[in-house]
Chains A and B, each alone.
Chain A
């Protein structure tokens, strides 16, 4: 540690004396541990930490439950871990308004338990809802397969409060489901990986829990009939809330197993309608299926928990996880391309495809500790599809590459945003797109 940095950290230490400390070992990012781990208990403490960091030039990495910390470029510097799990209140919940305001550190599971008491839910998929925090989910911006039925995560956000590195506490939106008062800062912060501001509170519109659900699991011998079945449903007026396609590797990880390709569709509706919906979908896709099961209620819910869990980002040894973005009709081409890249580099591949959105999640695993095949596989994948993101990888693979792929269109504006919101590059230094 340089003497300047040591001095500035001492400065931060002295100025944040009231903020609870944590063991730095629990906050490694890409193998790096910070010098200081702070767990503020209030919004004021978050502001104090950020103001002190901005003044001293310390680099801060905000933390929630840590389920997505392997996402992002290698940190350019990492002095302070800012653990937001102490801010975990459900601030305001009026069930009849179908709105809720929650602090960033509350876990998704905790929020859904509370909403569930009133028959409501936040229909968002997460790999580990017991650990994943609301702030982390909003910052990393992942949206799972239920977006088909309920819209993407960002569409459920109606308000936000964030602390800017200079110490500004700024809110936007509100507690109403329709609102054009001021700029849509919710969409600015959502998915910006905590690189502009630290999210401290999010307001959502929530939904009534469906009164019944079914899941159809259909097995196919090859990609073509499975994908045709998915598109048949997509083109119809039937309305499943999720359509996911798994290859054998991914089905195995989710403990489903059984065939080369498995198509899984979720139906959520009132009780009479859900039975008819499941029957009509089954009829539409059964001709070429090897086998087809319909899971009811808890069986239906559990299979989705396993599918989401299987997408967990950690641990990362001997493998990389990628996300490719395609239009839904381009899915087969993307699948064939990723499969051939994997076999060319001798890697095992698990593939999970959200047929509703066209997002493809791939896990490519090596048999040895050699990183070169993984590195070469990513550089081949980076230019595939409409966009590609390296979600998780060993540090040696991340070295020298941008996990977000080539600079996106409009990067000049993104750079200006970073300069405006975080001129001293306090937050997630170097970790976001283009190493902002």
Chain B
């Protein structure tokens, strides 16, 4: 189909103000929050902003007929290039679908459209006594649809779990063009858990047009503790001790000296500036249990050499401490013109060794690395600082990032804790998964999207379609002595 004909058909669905194809209009959509050096420039041919599920379905059917790929996108805050149009085609931007359709307090759910901003939902429900638990650092701008695509985490998923644990059902447009509801207010619906496999599938299996999300009751009491440690190793031992003591905080976050200095310079959040590491611990729940657990955590921190343990008693103090943590990435501008944010995860007991390795990598590659991360669940976020205009910096940054992935895999971890695979890590996925593993995942993809036109080039290694992965595997099996494939 010619470009103008495609544009006209799309305009007939969403109106003229919902279709963009001028190069200047497309500029914004050829980037997300990932680094251009990794994801490259991926320009969609046309961007469409629908307002309803019916419009999304109509766009999908047009794309299917025209044989062009479809890439869904929310606020574009993704760090792995998941929302980039890697093969051009139609980009469906869901930021005009922003209605909170229903809030049901008795049954503790809300039905929202995918363009609703994460923080807006919690701010809407908080006065009613409920919140939406996933809280990625980008929660002021990221959308619920994007959270679902990436199975987003956030500091509070230590206790409350990742996005997947909070999605009860989905209205989704399938690659077939069909619109279905999966799951619902009653759990254990008969059949395969399509809701569960759609969450975290990075928009490769379907496009969510409504989500039924779990609302969690506001806790009765909340405490935030800030402990200053002389160095990061002591702080990470304290983390292991807290987990091993049987206390499950709502959040357990760590910042190293470099991060503390940047955050203090930018926001004056109130962290002890001379500390080697700061541990931010939030405990919530029943008033009596919070008090009991807080005492235990203070004791553990002191035993591990914390010099200064403070408890934030007011909501304002708590908010300030959290703001420092959530805006830490932004504060990096104080230290260097650019940073590359890595996202890896290791078993919690491997944290001290992993942090030592990050330090070595920093020395070896002559790059400053700041650490700010979800210590409670072993999810690291080393920020590699650099200057894009300094010759050779980018290559060293990428190599340093890859070394961290290798380390994490060898330590029994994984190559992404919460940012996703997207374009960024598709070629690294083979560090974790064998062709067998990938063939089964390809089977899942092909069951939803046999034409492979939904968010192509993502998750799976470059240069292989899912069909090819499955075929390669069949061949490998045939070659294996004693193995037969039906």
A423 to B470, CA, bound (A): 14
Check B197–A184 contact: CB distance below 8 A.
Answer: yes
Task: Decide yes or no: A239 and B285 within 8 Å by CB, A170-B437, A172-B440, A207-B248 being known contacts.
Answer: yes
A328 to chain B, nearest CB (A): 5
A265 to B178, CA, bound (A): 43
The reply on A175 being an interface residue by CB < 8 A is yes
Residues of A within 8 A of B200 (CB): 180, 183-184
Residues of A within 8 A of B243 (CB): 96, 98
A155 to B165, CA, bound (A): 6
Check A208–B246 contact: CB distance below 8 A.
Answer: yes
Number of A-B contacts (CB under 8 A): 298
The reply on B187 being an interface residue by CB < 8 A is yes
Residues of B within 8 A of A105 (CB): none
B104, B129, B434, B485: residue with the most chain A Cβ atoms closer than 10 Å = B485
Residues of A within 8 A of B448 (CB): 413, 416
Residues of A within 8 A of B483 (CB): 51, 167
Q: A-facing mask of B163-202, CB < 8 A → 1, else 0?
A: 0110000000010101011101111111111111101110
A186 to B200, CA, bound (A): 12
The reply on A211 being an interface residue by CB < 8 A is yes
Check A96–B240 contact: CB distance below 8 A.
Answer: yes
The reply on A219 being an interface residue by CB < 8 A is no
A197 to B444, CA, bound (A): 12
Check B190–A405 contact: CB distance below 8 A.
Answer: yes
B178 to chain A, nearest CB (A): 7
Residues of A within 8 A of B244 (CB): 95-96
Task: Decide yes or no: A387 and B414 within 8 Å by CB, A166-B485, A183-B201 being known contacts.
Answer: no
Partner of B484, one of A51, A95, A185: A51
Please report the total number of B residues contacting A with Cβ < 8 Å: 100
A94 to B219, CA, bound (A): 31
Please report the total number of A residues contacting B with Cβ < 8 Å: 97
Residues of A within 8 A of B187 (CB): 143, 147, 152, 325, 357-359
Q: Which residue of B lies closest to A209 (CB)?
A: B246
A53 to B439, CA, bound (A): 20
Residues of B within 8 A of A273 (CB): 286, 288-289, 292
| Segment with Cβ contacts to A, from B2-10, B115-123, B304-312, B345-353 | B345-353
Q: Which residue of A lies closest to B240 (CB)?
A: A96
Check B348–A169 contact: CB distance below 8 A.
Answer: no
A253 to B448, CA, bound (A): 45
The reply on A276 being an interface residue by CB < 8 A is yes
Residues of B within 8 A of A186 (CB): 196
The reply on B432 being an interface residue by CB < 8 A is yes
A296 to B289, CA, bound (A): 18
> For chain A residues 112-161, which have a beta carbon within 8 Å of chain B?
119, 141-143, 147, 151-152, 154-155
Check B414–A176 contact: CB distance below 8 A.
Answer: yes
The reply on A408 being an interface residue by CB < 8 A is yes
Q: What are 26 A-B residue pairs whose CB atoms fall within 8 Å in the complex?
A: A48-B482, A52-B484, A97-B348, A97-B378, A167-B485, A168-B440, A168-B473, A170-B436, A176-B345, A179-B414, A182-B429, A184-B201, A185-B441, A188-B197, A191-B192, A237-B220, A273-B286, A327-B186, A357-B186, A358-B185, A409-B181, A410-B174, A413-B447, A416-B450, A417-B192, A420-B443
Interface of B with A (CB < 8 Å)?
A: 104-108, 129, 150-151, 153, 157, 161-162, 164-165, 174, 176, 178, 180-182, 184-197, 199-201, 217-220, 240, 243-248, 285-286, 288-289, 292-293, 345-349, 374, 377-379, 412-421, 425, 429, 432-434, 436-441, 443-448, 450, 459, 473-474, 477, 482-486
